[in-house]
Amino acid sequence: GSTGTKQHAGEAASYKSDDVLHLFASAGSDSSREKVKRMLQMNSAVLELGCGQGLAGMFCVQHAGASRAVLTDVSETALAMVKVNAKLNDIADRVTIAVLDVSRTLNGSERYDFVIASDMLFSSKIAREVFAACRRLIKPGGTILLGHEKRYSVYRDAETGEIRQESVDQPLQVFLGLSREENWSVQEVSPFPNEPNLIALRVDCI
């Protein structure tokens, strides 16, 4: 049978990159699913930032050995749908749902073995906030997995007036640079050969 996470029939379709972690884990080959399972130790505590539909966090609980998951978002509307999804998948007792703004996480917050997030690096400012939240919320030796769609900003050349496109994804580079300053190990994975801009970042916080 399928190992996919059920979705509520009334859900609106999400952007592709919102589901990149879930797809990386559950679509395609068995080896893709095994990659996520190997990242989690049995009974790991998982935190999902900006969870949207909560698919990635629920996958970790259902199929990857996590004992529990805390699914967070700034949108109470999104979290109401997550609550429905958790009940639909019979894991409501292992899922905690909470409103969380990554710019306001506190140093005293609980720490987790595994932090996941998808499609959150929209600007350099937000990338710094996401990094700071991850640093506060991940346990030493834990793993961060980020789904991301690479984007390249456009700008007007001050001298020629021409519209140009940047050659790098600045928010992504900000997050990567901060991670390396922490001496974290960073791996970039492209789960979809036909869509190279959709990536998953594995960050081991050693």
Give the three-state DSSP class for 22: helix
Distance CA 170, CA 188 (A): 16
Q: How many residues does the chain have?
A: 206
- In 58-158, where do the E strands start and end? 68-73, 95-99, 112-118, 138-149, 154-156
Give per-residue pLDDT as tens, 77-136.
999 999 998 988 889 999 999 998 888 776 667 899 999 998 899 899 999 999 999 999
Percent of the chain at pLDDT exceeding 90: 35
Kindly list the structural domains of the chain, giving each domain's residue range(s) and its CATH number in brackets, ordered by start: 42-204 (3.40.50.150)
Radius of gyration of the chain (CA): 17
pLDDT of residue 39: 66
Tell me the pTM: 0.78
Give per-residue burial for 71-85: e unless 16+ CB within 10 Å, then b: bbbeeeebbebbbbb
- Closest residue by Cα to residue 39 from 148, 185, 192: 185
